């Protein structure tokens, strides 16, 4: 008998889970009141990367003389055209997911889904009509949205979240960005490169507070070089909009003003009005706790992605959805969080996996660490990309890799080797013995791995 699985939400968790289910022989139905792809495709990962790609091209043109290329004439970004290009890329990818749905016979129903029984989802459609879907299993994959914090008078015009920033058609002259995390750093660098005067305000004492402190300090130096004003250990206590923009008062008494403010802190899980209480699904701290099989406390109801505890990452959401589907279909999967990569698509990029040095020490590990600067690579010298390093943390007792951090060119691609190393329990010595092609950026990973045991060849 074919199993029917209903997914509430068509983001990176819902759409991936639905296609996986269909490929495994299930009848997959997705309920979504917006476009497929969720925040990641429509208002997050993909559109921001499209903007940053334009920013990278602009940087390459500005620095072309360093490579012996002379460009005559004025070089100016066309902000509206950059935004249009971003929209076209998103549209193509949305169409691509819809095509995959069609080819895999995944049914999508437009509307708001609510769990009305442990095996039933009721969909309220745009025209007010409703449809009841019976299901063998239900997967909650409704994602998250920016948290509205009372101190910030959000109006979508002068005080914005990332959603509204992505819809701008006129470049602001100045911007205050609240938060030096992933979103704040990515947008900060993009707008700085476009010509906006950027001030980033961060409560913690270093940039990228969830990453390795040493890597955060490297990012601070990059900000300084790019003339992005970064205010650390700074708390905003009052915000008001003015005729000219927005004004923020800091706890220190200092006032800062700009044309716009981007609030880049805090996201809340979209679990309201889903009927969770009605069927007895437990929630905790605004999320849905699940077991190692991604099932809630109610049998047959699963939750994946941003609605469950843990990092809110698109690729993690997809992996959780695939694991949930395998369990629903009778193929046991235990979700493994030991090797989840993290990425920040700034210039240079930042990536991490596993434990930071601070986390490893706080958990009682005695560690060994190895580092290698990109400056020491022939490929980095040829590319003119000298900023950054690879850092590897290993357990002194076993030699196994506990974590790694990279800041530098293509960091988000290079981290994958270290993800595999942690996933399969390799030691730094074992992974470092793998032959790496020369000249490549991946040699920095090899050298850092060898440096854990003092064996790096190209490091003094």
> Binding site annotation covers 25?
no
> Binding site annotation covers 343?
no
> Binding site annotation covers 144?
yes
> Binding site annotation covers 233?
no
> Binding site annotation covers 184?
yes
> Binding site annotation covers 306?
yes
Query: How many whole angstroms separate alpha carbon 136 and alpha carbon 4?
Result: 5
> Binding site annotation covers 179?
yes
> Binding site annotation covers 143?
yes
> Binding site annotation covers 364?
no
- Distances in Å between the alpha carbon of 48 and those of 86, 175, 186? 8, 17, 8
Burial class (CB in 10 A: 0-12, 13-18, 19+), 301: buried
Query: How many whole angstroms separate alpha carbon 66 and alpha carbon 24?
Result: 53
- Distances in Å between the alpha carbon of 228 and those of 40, 130, 188, 346? 26, 51, 8, 13
> Binding site annotation covers 333?
no
CB 179 within 8 A of CB 263: yes
* CA dihedral for 279, 283, 289, 291, sign (positive or negative): negative
> Binding site annotation covers 14?
no
CB 110 within 8 A of CB 131: no
> Binding site annotation covers 310?
no
Pick from 192, 32, 190: nearest CA to 107: 32
Rounded to the nearest 10°, the torsion over CA 264, 270, 272, 278 is -150
Residue labelled with tokens 């959603």: 163
Catalytic residue among 70, 315, 410, 438: 438
Angle at 83 between CA 82 and CA 85, to 5 degrees: 65
Catalytic: 438? yes
Pick from 228, 233, 239, 165: nearest CA to 196: 228
> Binding site annotation covers 64?
no
Query: How many whole angstroms separate alpha carbon 305 and alpha carbon 294?
Result: 10
> Binding site annotation covers 142?
yes
Q: Is the bond leading into 348 cis (omega within 30 degrees of zero)?
A: yes
Residues known to be catalytic: 438
Binding site residues for FAD, as ranges? 49, 113, 142-144, 306
Instruction: List binding-site positions.
Output: 49, 113, 142-144, 179-186, 202, 266, 306
Annotated binding site for NAD(+): 179-186, 202, 266
């Amino acid at each position: 008998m074919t199993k029917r699985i209903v997914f509430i939400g068509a983001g990176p968790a819902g759409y991936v889970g639905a296609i996986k289910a269909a490929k495994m022989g299930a009848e997959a139905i997705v309920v979504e009141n917006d476009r497929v792809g969720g925040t990641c495709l429509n208002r997050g990962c993909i559109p921001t990367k499209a903007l940053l790609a334009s920013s990278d091209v602009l940087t390459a043109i500005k620095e072309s003389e360093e490579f012996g290329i002379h460009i005559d004439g004025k070089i100016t970004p066309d902000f509206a055209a950059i935004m249009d290009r971003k929209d076209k890329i998103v549209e193509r990818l949305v169409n691509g997911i819809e095509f995959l749905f069609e080819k895999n016979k995944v049914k999508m129903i437009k509307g708001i889904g609510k769990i009305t029984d442990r095996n039933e989802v009721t969909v309220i459609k745009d025209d007010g009509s409703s449809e009841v879907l019976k299901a063998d299993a239900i997967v909650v994959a409704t994602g998250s949205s920016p948290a509205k914090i009372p101190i910030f008078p959000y109006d979508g015009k002068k005080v914005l979240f990332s959603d509204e920033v992505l819809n701008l058609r006129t470049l602001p002259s100045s911007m205050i960005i609240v938060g030096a995390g992933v979103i704040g750093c990515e947008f900060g660098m993009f707008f700085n490169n476009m010509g906006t005067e950027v001030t980033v305000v961060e409560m913690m004492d270093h940039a990228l507070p969830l990453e390795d402190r040493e890597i955060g300090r490297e990012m601070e130096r990059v900000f300084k070089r790019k003339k992005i004003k970064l205010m650390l250990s700074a708390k905003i206590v009052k915000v008001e909009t003015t005729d000219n923009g927005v004004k923020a008062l800091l706890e220190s008494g200092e006032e800062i003003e700009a044309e716009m403010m981007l609030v880049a802190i805090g996201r809340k899980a979209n679990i309201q009005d889903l009927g969770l209480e009605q069927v007895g699904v437990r929630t905790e701290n605004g999320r849905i706790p699940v077991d190692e099989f991604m099932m809630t406390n109610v049998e047959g109801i699963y939750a994946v992605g941003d609605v469950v505890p843990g990092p809110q990452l698109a690729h993690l959401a997809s992996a959780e959805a695939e694991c949930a589907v395998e369990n629903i279909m009778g193929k046991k999967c235990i979700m493994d969080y030991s090797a989840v990569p993290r990425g920040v698509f700034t210039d240079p990029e930042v990536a991490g996996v596993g434990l930071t040095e601070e986390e490893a020490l706080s958990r009682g590990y005695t560690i060994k660490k190895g580092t290698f600067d990109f400056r020491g690579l022939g490929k980095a010298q040829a590319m003119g990309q000298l900023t950054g390093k690879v850092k590897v943390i290993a357990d002194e007792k076993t030699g196994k890799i506990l974590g790694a951090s990279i800041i530098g060119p293509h960091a988000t691609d290079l981290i994958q080797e270290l993800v595999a190393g942690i996933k399969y329990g390799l030691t730094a010595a074992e992974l470092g013995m793998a032959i790496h092609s020369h000249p490549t950026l991946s040699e920095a990973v090899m050298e850092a791995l060898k440096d854990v045991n003092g064996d790096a060849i190209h490091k003094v």
